[in-house]
């Protein structure tokens, strides 16, 4: 298995531009998570999906951020418009969970991350 795939690996953009980060979870996993990592705040959960449905988006900083999961094998995180303070490494992770049933104790598999720099 190729693991969680993220693209692009690096993104440099100018303030005000739209940024789209992409993630392909591990096949068969039905939970997907987006995290942001910065020097000052560490690793923060932005949003997670179960069976393509957003479950908790309380970590999304503001309306400029949006995430979608149109199918089980693809998710996007979009920032529009981007700002310099959005510069960070964005990680996608996936796991297998039994949504709607008793919680299962499963590890999250992280992708390599996308380093975003907003100038």
Size, binding site for another protein by CB under 8 A? 29
Residue 22 binds to another protein (criterion: CB under 8 A): no
Residue 33 binds to another protein (criterion: CB under 8 A): yes
Chain positions 70 to 109 lying near another protein, rule: CB under 8 A, are 89, 91, 93, 95, 97, 103, 105, 107-109
Q: Which residues fall within 8 angstroms of residue 48, CB to CB, at 6 or more apart?
A: 31, 32, 33, 34, 54, 55, 56
DSSP letter (8 states) at residue 58:
T
Residue 26 binds to another protein (criterion: CB under 8 A): no
Quick one: CA torsion of 6, 60, 94, 31, rounded to 10 degrees? -140
Q: How far is CA 102 from CA 5, 54, 72, 97, in A?
A: 28, 18, 21, 9
Kindly state the tokens that stand for 69. 């999961």
- The rounded distance, in Å, linking the Cα atoms of 24 and 4 is 6
Residue of 20, 50, 52, 66 interacting with another protein (CB under 8 A): 50
Residue closer to another protein, measured from CB, 17 or 106: 106
Least spacing, CB of residue 12 vs another protein, in Å? 15
Q: Give contact residues for another protein (rule: CB under 8 A).
A: 4, 31, 33, 37, 39-40, 42-45, 48, 50, 55-56, 89, 91, 93, 95, 97, 103, 105, 107-113, 115
């Amino acid at each position: 298995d190729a693991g969680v795939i993220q693209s692009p690996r690096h993104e440099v953009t100018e303030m005000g531009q739209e940024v789209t980060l992409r993630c392909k979870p591990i096949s068969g996993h039905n939970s997907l998570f987006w995290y942001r990592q910065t020097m000052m705040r560490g690793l923060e959960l932005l949003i997670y999906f179960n069976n393509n449905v957003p479950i908790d988006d309380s970590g999304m900083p503001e309306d400029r951020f949006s995430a979608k999961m149109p199918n089980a094998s693809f998710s996007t995180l979009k920032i529009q418009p981007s700002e310099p303070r959005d510069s960070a490494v964005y990680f996608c992770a996936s796991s297998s969970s039994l949504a709607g049933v008793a919680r299962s104790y499963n590890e999250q598999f992280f992708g390599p991350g996308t380093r975003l720099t907003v100038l």
